[in-house]
Amino acid sequence: MFLLLILVLAPALTACLLLFFAPPERACWRLALATSILVAVGALRLLAEPRPRLLFDYRFTPIVSLAFVMDAVGLLFSLVASCLWFFTIIYSHGYMKHEGRIRSYLAFLILSLGITNGIALAGNLVTLFFFYEALTLSTFPLVIHRRTPEAMRAGIVYLAYNLIGATLVLLAIATLAGRVHKVDFIYGGIIPPGLFTRAELVRLVVLFVAGFGVKAAVIPLHHWLPRAMVAPTPVSALLHAVAVVNAGVFGLLRVSAYVLGRETLNAFNLAPLLRWPMVVTIILGSIWAFRQDDLKRRLAYSTISQLAYMGLGASFLTSGGWTAALLHFFNHALLKITLFFCAGNLAVGSGKTKVSELLGVGFHQPWTMGAFAVASLGMIGLPPANGFLSKWYLGLGALEAGKPGFLAVVLISALLNAGYFLPILFAAFRSRPTSPPSLSEPPLTMLVPTLVLALSCLVFFFWPHLPLHLSSWSEGGA
């Protein structure tokens, strides 16, 4: 209970403090940093109490309550978010030197941390929905932070898409509440057999997939994501590669395993409704990534494609697939944030934002490009980076489900990933300059988090015990 206060409320309070009392800038940084450390420690502390249990419950009506639960999946999300937020604050310190309005940036950033933890620890659909909508609102000021016309447009698109998605989710939740009279998360699903006809279930699944699919950037609801790249890079890194999009995927995971449940999905053959949009997203996302010259946009499309891996894994309805989904949830967050941090390093260190400008930049920024190389390996799915294990389990899940064709999809997508990441590396390390190159790496506050995260991608290949343990626990072990 106390930990809940730390994880959810402390960030909110800090944000209010920053907004209303306008402390000087240095104090703002210290406050933000302290809060993120506190939250990270709190999340790690939760790890030490491995029992799924109810943390807090307040009932409005017999059906609707505000409930927080600590279970494996939520813990995974909370850990990822809390720890990565810490790195982002440090990174922001270096990056935001060139931007203005630090105080509101930090306030909304920290607020979003608390809300993300709320999503992670939500114990039922209504609580999840509450924080889900709140996340859209709290991240909106971050998207439009630069206040350029393009940023404002991106913000409006962001709002519009996300509110529509939330509306669809609300409709689905209301349907459930009205018929099932329960909206809690219980592994295996909460739908009693025989209550819904297949047509009704199809409607429900479509609503959930479309509703959560907006945040999870399922094609064709993904348009907000590339446009949102106009935000400052730490925002893109954290929110649009880790927190917001992961919240969408998290919603899908919760719905598929804890609300609808494997049996219901199996019995009514509903998994294809989830699976095919994921396949389309994987392939099209990778293909569209090729065409992007702007580096952050290329990463955005890569994110779109990779998120669908997680949905695909969950849709196999097997233990291997579920493990793959959770494992990639963890791995992709690390990999993508590394890549985005590298993009930010390139922008600040060499002023380069487009792929076509990156010729030879590897000699001016070897550490950054080294981290980029490691993370690219992970995205392609090659050992010794952690992304390999996600692909392994994904393939295993596909085969366990008896659908080898989807394994082919994953492999083709891996090849496509190679196709748009490797040329960046090739270009960066080509054409060695004749004189010893000047090192133009960004300041340490930006470089060190990048390197640490890249290293962690390698480390978690050799010791993926944490996400694996959590995923096996989520299926009813421990």
Partner 1 sequence: MRITLLPLVIIVAPVITGLLTLLVPWSEERKARFSLFVHAFLLAALLALFPAVHAGRSLAYKLAPLFPPYGLSLRVDALSFLVTLVVAFIWFLSSLYALEYMRHEHHIARYWAFSNFTLSGCLGVAFAGDLFSFFVFFEFMSLISYMLVIHTETPAAFRAGVKYLYLGIIGGLFLLYAVIATYDLAGTLAFDALRSFTFPDYGLYSFSIFLSYVVGFGIKAGMVPLHFWLPDAHPVAPSPASALLSGVLLKMGAYGMARVFLDVFGLSYLATSGWAEIVAVLAGISIIFGSLVAIVQDDLKRRLAYSSISQMGYILLGLSLLTPAALYGAVLHILNHALMKSGLFLAAGAVMYRTGRHKVSELDNIGRTMPRTMLAFTITALAMVGIPPLGGFISKWYLGLGAVVGGRPVFLFFLLLSSFLNALYYLPIVTRAFFNRAACPFAAFQVLPPEEAGPTSLGTELPPLPPRPLAPELPPAMLFPIVSLAAGTLFSGLYPMSPPFSLAADVVKAYFGG
Partner 2 sequence: MTTHLVVLPILVLLVAALILPLVREPRRASLIGVSALAAAFLLWLALAFLVMRQGAISYHLGGWPPPVGIEVIADKLAVFFGLTVFLVAIPTAVFAGVDMPAEAPEPALSSFWTLYLLLVLSLLGLAQAGDLFNMYVFLEISSLAACALVAVVNRPANVEAAFKYLLLSTVGSGCVLLAIALLYMITGQLNLAFLARELEHQAPLYPKNVIGAGTFLLVGLGVKAAIFPLHTWLPDAHASAPSPASALLSGLVVKVYVVVMVRIVWGTLGRAFFTLLPFKSVLLLLATISIFLASILAMAQTDLKRMLAYSTVAQMGYIFLGLAAGSRTAFAGAILHIFNHALLKGALFLAAGAVIWRTGRRRLAELVGVGHTCPLTLSFFAIAALGMVGIPGTSGFVSKWFLLVGMLQQSSPLLAWVVLISSLLNAAYYFPVIILGFFGHGTDNELRFHLDRIPPELLLPAGSLALVSLFFGLWPSFPLHLAQDIAHDFFL
Q: For residue 53, what are its two tokens? A: 């249990």
d(CA 438, CA 339): 23
Beta bridge partners of 70: 53
For residue 55, the surrounding DSSP H or E stretch is strand 53-59
Per-residue b or e along 273-288, where b marks 16 or more CB atoms closer than 10 Å to that residue's CB: bbbebbbebbbbbbeb
Q: For residue 66, what are its two tokens? A: 């505000």
- Using DSSP, state whether 64 is helix, strand or coil: coil
By CB under 8 A, tell whether 328 contacts partner 1. Answer: no
Q: Count the residues of the shown chain that bind partner 2, applying the rule CB under 8 A.
A: 34
Nearest distance from C-beta of residue 218 to partner 1, angstroms: 24
Q: Given candidates 36, 55, 92, 103, which one binds partner 2 under the rule CB under 8 A?
A: 103
By CB under 8 A, tell whether 163 contacts partner 2. Answer: yes
On whether the CB atoms of residues 282 and 369 are closer than 8 A, the answer is no
Percentages helix, strand, coil for the chain (3-state, rounded to 5) are 75, 5, 20
By CB under 8 A, tell whether 174 contacts partner 1. Answer: no
Q: For residue 471, what are its two tokens? A: 């995923």
By CB under 8 A, tell whether 468 contacts partner 1. Answer: yes
By CB under 8 A, tell whether 459 contacts partner 1. Answer: no
Q: Which stretch binds partner 1 (CB under 8 A): 68-76, 181-189, 329-337, 386-394?
A: 386-394
By CB under 8 A, tell whether 247 contacts partner 2. Answer: no
CA distances from 282 to 26, 279, 312, 323, 355 (A): 43, 5, 9, 19, 22
Nearest distance from C-beta of residue 195 to partner 2, angstroms: 13
CA distances from 234 to 230, 281, 365 (A): 11, 25, 19
Q: Which is nearer to partner 2, 22 or 439 (CB)?
A: 22
Q: Which entry of partner 2, partner 1, none binds 422, CB below 5 to 8 A by partner kind?
A: partner 1
Q: For residue 39, what are its two tokens? A: 């939250």
Q: CA-based Rg of the chain, rounded to a whole angstrom?
A: 21
Q: Which entry of partner 2, partner 1, none binds 357, CB below 5 to 8 A by partner kind?
A: none
Q: Which entry of partner 1, partner 2, none binds 377, CB below 5 to 8 A by partner kind?
A: partner 1
Contacting residues toward partner 2, per CB under 8 A? 19-22, 60-61, 64, 100-101, 103-104, 126, 129-130, 133-134, 137, 141, 144, 147, 152, 155, 159, 163-164, 167, 170-171, 174-175, 177-179, 203
Contacting residues toward partner 1, per CB under 8 A? 377, 380-384, 388, 391-392, 395-396, 399-400, 404, 407-408, 411-412, 414-415, 418, 422, 426, 430, 432, 462-465, 468
